[in-house]
Amino acid sequence: MILVTGGAGFIGANFVLDWLNFSDEAVLNVDKLTYAGNLRTLQSLQNDERHVFVRADICDQASLSTLLAEHRPRAILHFAAESHVDRSIHGPADFVQTNVVGTFTLLEAARQYWNTLDAAGKAAFRFLHVSTDEVFGSLSETDSQFSEATPYAPNSPYSATKAGSDHLVRAYHHTYGLPVLTTNCSNNYGPYQFPEKLIPLMISNALAGKPLPVYGDGKNVRDWLYVGDHCSAIREVLARGMLGETYNIGGWNEKKNIDVVHTLCDQLNRLRPKEQGSYHDQITYVTDRPGHDRRYAIDARKLERELGWKPTETFETGIARTVQWYLDNQPWVDEIISGDYRKWVETNYTQRA
């Protein structure tokens, strides 16, 4: 069995579904079910004995220790995190608690559990920490891509707390010998993403006839990684990654935000045309967010060189799959757009117009 934290969130749930599609090894799925956790994403596993879901907080060490002792997983994959930059600007305390304190608590529980294993169990155990490229800060248009050796320079409370969690994971390997692996990924997109992030937000707003809010001049650049490719990379790192190492996971798809929005509009114009006009007409520029990093770009050559991994989806194929998924799964989107979510959109976008 493997233990997955945050397995009801966007990337974590996709990983759980992906894992059980490729493997019969059971998953212990631990999630607090905050606003971004959605068990409906895992509905297809409802009667699957390979999937054991437990609602628990990674800041609760007693619960974690009990679960580890009972289920005795061979690996922990740590996805659970507060992950939205805008939310971190308005409420940084939650990010410190989950991303720093939560990771520390999980590491302590893992270390104590690992110390109970026999020699073979210790050698086989893995703690894989899933992180972000945002810990490296911002690039100019001419800077080289982030590599695993790029110094950390986080610019938001979100990225600062993820950087802190990365450092804790590294320290537990060097101080205690805990067998850890860390991945730093670029911007993920794909099915089941909560509609506060750029791509699902734009799809949702476009279909609802609402403005498509673009920060600043829209020229901020991100490297886009299809979530299915991210899941396959994590499987490879878990299976064959070198202990104590970090691996950058990227899609080799640098795109300006405004170009992503125009691509989405083109897709929707083709697949779900409006009675009048174009979805492009809904694009609205809003005041930029504080400290908005200009460019992220991942150099994923180490992962390809050492483990033979590279993405299978181009941005064009991945975005087509993503748009079609959202068009085919509107009930999933409708269920999670709650009153709290609408209040959040009001805080972050309407007031910036």
Q: Where are the domains of the chain?
A: 2-191+225-252+292-312
Residue 16 confidence (pLDDT) above 70: yes
pLDDT of residue 166: 98
Residue 173 confidence (pLDDT) above 80: yes
When pLDDT is averaged across residues 186-214 and rounded to a whole number, the result is 95
CATH assignment of 2-191+225-252+292-312, among 3.10.290.10, 3.50.50.60, 3.40.50.720, 3.40.50.1370: 3.40.50.720
Q: Of the listed 57, 86, 134, 223, which one is catalytic? A: 134
The amino acid that residue 213 corresponds to is P
288 noted as active-site residue: no
223 noted as active-site residue: no
When pLDDT is averaged across residues 192-219 and rounded to a whole number, the result is 94
DSSP readout, 78-127? E------HHHHHH-HHHHIIIIIIIHHHHHHHHHHHHTTS-HHHHHH-EE
What is d(CA 348, CA 350) in angstroms, rounded to the nearest whole number? 6
What is d(CA 351, CA 346) in angstroms, rounded to the nearest whole number? 7
133 noted as active-site residue: yes
Lowest-confidence pick of 52-61, 193-202, 308-317: 193-202
Residue 144 confidence (pLDDT) above 80: yes
**What six digits make up the tokens of 220?**
């901020």
Closest CA to 26 of 75, 61, 64, 63: 75
When pLDDT is averaged across residues 16-44 and rounded to a whole number, the result is 93
Residue 341 confidence (pLDDT) above 80: no
Residue 223 confidence (pLDDT) above 80: yes
Q: Of the listed 82, 86, 113, 158, which one is catalytic? A: 158
What is d(CA 104, CA 168) in angstroms, rounded to the nearest whole number? 7
**pTM here?**
0.94
User: Is residue 152 a contact partner of residue 135, using CB atoms and an 8 Å limit?
Assistant: yes
How many alpha carbons lie under 13 Å from residue 328 in its C-beta half-sphere?
A: 8
3-state class of 128 per DSSP?
strand
Residue 148 confidence (pLDDT) above 80: yes
